[in-house]
Amino acid sequence: MNVSESNSESLDDLLNNLRDIEQRIEESRIRGCVMFTDLSGYTAYVDRYGDVAGRRRVQSARECVSAAADRHNGRIIKGLGDGWMLLFESAQEAVLASVEMQRCVQFSQREEINPIKLKIGLDYGGILEDEDDIYGDVVNVSSRLTDLCKGDDIVISRSV
Query: Mean pLDDT in each 10-residue stretch from start to end of the chain (160 residues)?
Result: 57 80 78 95 91 92 97 95 95 97 92 88 92 90 94 89
What pLDDT does residue 1 have?
Answer: 46
Phi-psi region of 73 (alpha: psi -120 to 50; beta: other; left: phi over 0): left
List the Cα angle 122/118/138 in 5-degree steps: 20
pTM over 0.85: no
Query: May I ask the CATH class of domain 29-156?
Result: alpha beta
* CB within 8 Å of 132: residues ≥ 6 apart: 77, 78
What pLDDT does residue 64 have?
Answer: 96
DSSP assignment of 100-149: HHHHHHHHHTTT-SSPPEEEEEEEEEEEEEETTEEESHHHHHHHHHHHH-
What pLDDT does residue 20 have?
Answer: 81
